Amino acid sequence: MDQLQAFAWLGLALVAGKLVRQRVPLLRRIFMPSSIIGGFLLLLLGPEVLERLTGGAVAPIPEGVLRLWSGYPGFLINIVFACLFLGKTIPGIRNVWTKAGPQVALSHTIAWGQYVTGLAVTAVILIPLFDVEPMFGALIEIGFIGGHGTAAGLGETFTELGWPQGQDLALGVATIGLFTGVLSGIALVNWGVKKGHARILGAGGPEKEQIESLSNDIVTMEDDLLLESREEAGDSSPTRETPPGGAGAKGIVRIESMEPLSFHLAYVALSIGVGALLLAAVTWLEETLLLPLGLPVLFGHVPLFPLAMIGGIVVEKLHHRFFEGRLDRALVLKIQGGALDLLIVSALASLTLSAIADAWMPLAILILAGIVWTVGAFVWLAPRMLSDYWFERGIGDFGQSLGVTATGLLLMRIADPKSETPALEAFGYKQLLFEPLVGGGLFTAVSVPLVHNFGLTVMLAVTSAITLFWLALGLLMKKRTARQT
pTM for the whole structure = 0.84
CB 415 within 8 A of CB 200: yes
pLDDT of residue 208: 53
Strand partners, 229: 238
pLDDT of residue 52: 83
pLDDT of residue 207: 54
Write the secondary structure of the chain as one string of H (helix), E (strand) and C (coil): CHHHHHHHHHHHHHHHHHHHHHHCHHHHHCCCCHHHHHHHHHHHHCCCCHHHHCCCCCCCCCHHHHHHHHHHHHHHHHHHHHCCCCCCCCCCHHHHHHHHHHHHHHHHHHHHHHHHHHHHHHHHHHHHHHCCCHHHHHHHHHHHCCHHHHHHHCHHHHHHCCCCHHHHHHHHHHHHHHHHHHHHHHHHHHHHHHHCCCCCCCCCCCCHHHHHHCCCCCCHHHHHCCCCECHHHCCCCECCCCCHHHCCCCCCCCCCCCCHHHHHHHHHHHHHHHHHHHHHHHHHHHHHHHHHHCCCCCHHHCCCHHHHHHHHHHHHHHHHHHCCCCCCHHHHHHHHHHHHHHHHHHHHHCCCHHHHHHCHHHHHHHHHHHHHHHHHHHHHHHHHHCCCCHHHHHHHHHHHHHHHHHHHHHHHHHHCCCCCCCHHHHHHHHHHCCCCCCCCCHHHHHHHHHHHHHCHHHHHHHHHHHHHHHHHHHHHHHHHHHHHC
pLDDT of residue 141: 96
pLDDT of residue 385: 94
pLDDT of residue 228: 38
Question: Nearest 5°: CA angle at 126, between 370 and 165?
Answer: 80
pLDDT of residue 371: 96
Q: What is the pLDDT along the chain (485 residues), one digit of tens a residue?
A: 788 999 999 999 999 999 999 999 888 877 778 998 999 999 999 888 888 888 877 778 888 898 899 889 889 989 998 998 898 877 778 888 888 899 999 999 999 999 999 999 999 999 999 999 999 999 999 999 998 889 999 999 999 999 999 999 999 999 999 889 888 998 999 899 888 898 887 655 565 555 555 544 444 444 444 433 333 323 333 333 333 334 334 456 555 567 889 999 999 999 999 999 999 999 999 999 989 988 888 888 888 989 999 999 999 989 888 887 788 988 998 999 899 899 989 988 988 888 899 999 999 999 999 999 999 999 999 999 998 899 999 999 999 999 777 788 888 888 888 888 888 888 888 988 998 899 888 999 999 999 999 999 999 999 999 999 999 999 999 888 766 65
